[in-house]
Amino acid sequence: MKDSQGQILYVGKAKNLKNRVQSYFRASNNHSPKIKKLVKHLRDFDYILTDTEFEAFMLECQLIKSFKPLYNRMMKSPQSFIYILISLTGNHRKMDIALSPIENDSKVYFGPYTSRRKVEEAIRALKECFKLNCSNPNGTNSACLNYSLGACLGRCLGGPAEQQYNDILDRFIGFLKGTDMSILEDMNQMMLNASDAFDFEAASAYRDHIQAVSSLLKKEKVIEFTEENHNIAAIEKVTDSSIKFFLIKRTEILFSHRYAIAGSISEKIKADILAYLKKDEANAAGEISRHEINAAHIIYRYLHSGSCSYLIIPENWLVLENHSTLDLALEDLLNSPQHLQPPILNE
């Protein structure tokens, strides 16, 4: 959708374009102020036809990332992703949550997490277990209210308690990096001590706190799957006489093509796979960025939706002597409506 100057205002997808466009002009009394403002400035449309809904989702994601239309930003929840941030400078370190990381700001960020509630529960659990709830964190050397209630270890008073607080945050950073599990070990000990003292209510609370903090280490399946950097071949039937083939790497469609179902097309597909994966050899695995998450969710949902058959292609299948294995896998993929995983190969 464009304004009178040709600036892109909004990008969206629809199975039925006519109905989708009409919805912006019908029942306008029920529209949000943002929709009303969009319609007021709307002067022109461009449209792109795709063969499949998956392509439309991916194209929408790509165009929004490229053009950053005003109304896509306005209509998107600013709390889609959450990060944990910990400041490392000064005596009075702070731990908080953020919507996005800021480069070179002397803080460390962990995430992205998709559940704000789980992150807040985990931080609250950590603070309660280790008495980090200081209500006077600026260090004025006077005891805060929470200190008198036993919820603050005394960082507001400065001195050893300040260093103890910083040490706990250092251990928490190690925990989030997966290199230091002493935070969980201490929490487990607190639970056992409460149980030995027959304080089962406290033991139950510690158990819940342990689960909340542990959840920070459990990546969503979609993020874990994406970070593994698979080579994925996916096929979707478009008509009785044609299929759409996608070659996917991480959060990108490297290649897509519509093939007529006539004779053997596996050789053509294999040639395209080899050509495009050789071009993409420099694409290394790594942590998924905030900007990749939307595309990662679209790809993951598509592969598990039943709309397509897909095959994960191990790197060693791309070596010349293993091309026959790739041939067999592609034949199976073309002849089966089921999702296929690569067979276990002998080393």
Residue 243 class from Cβ within 10 Å (0-12 exposed, 13-18 middle, 19+ buried)? buried
Q: Residue 10: name the closest of 22, 26, 21 by CA.
A: 21
pLDDT greater than 80 at residue 141? no
pLDDT greater than 80 at residue 80? no
Over residues 124-132, mean pLDDT: 93
Over residues 134-152, mean pLDDT: 80
pLDDT band at 6 (very low <50, low <70, confident <90, very high): very high
pLDDT 10s digits, 205-226: 999 999 999 988 877 788 888 9
Specify the residue for token string 């260093």. Answer: 163
Cα–Cα distance, 253 to 87 (Å, whole number)? 38
pLDDT 10s digits, 162-220: 889 889 999 999 999 889 999 999 999 999 999 999 999 999 999 999 999 998 887 77
pLDDT 10s digits, 264-300: 788 999 999 999 987 766 555 677 877 788 899 899 9
The gap from C-alpha 103 to its chain's centroid, in whole angstroms, comes to 19
Over residues 303-308, mean pLDDT: 91
Picking from 67-71, 142-146, 310-314, 335-339, which range would have the lowest pLDDT averaged per residue?
A: 335-339
pLDDT 10s digits, 19-35: 988 888 887 778 888 88
DSSP structure class, residue 262: -
pLDDT 10s digits, 39-57: 999 999 999 999 999 999 9
- Cα dihedral value 35, 38, 40, 41, nearest 10: 180
* pLDDT for residue 344: 39
- Percent of the chain at pLDDT > 90 equals 51
pLDDT greater than 80 at residue 139? no
Phi, psi of 227 (to 5 degrees): -65, -20
Sign of CA dihedral 227, 334, 324, 340: positive
Q: In what order do the strands lie in the sheet with 242-249?
A: 252-260, 242-249, 231-239, 309-312
**With contact defined as beta carbons under 8 Å apart, do 223 and 199 qualify?**
no
Residue 103 class from Cβ within 10 Å (0-12 exposed, 13-18 middle, 19+ buried)? exposed
Take residue 51 and report the two structure tokens written for it. Answer: 């063969």
Amino acid at 78: P
Tally the residues of the chain: 347
Alpha helices by DSSP H, listed for the chain, are: 17-23, 33-41, 53-67, 70-75, 116-129, 145-148, 160-177, 182-196, 200-214, 221-227, 266-279, 293-303, 323-335
Provide the residue ranges of all domains of the chain, joining segments of one domain with +: 17-75, 82-217, 222-335
Q: Tell me how far CA of residue 329 lies from CA of 195, 253, 334, 336, in angstroms.
A: 55, 20, 9, 10
Cα–Cα distance, 187 to 182 (Å, whole number)? 9
pTM listed for this prediction:
0.68
Task: Count CB-CB contacts under 10 A for residue 219.
Answer: 14
Selected residue with higher pLDDT from 344 and 37 = 37
* pLDDT for residue 77: 54
Phi, psi of 152 (to 5 degrees): -125, 135
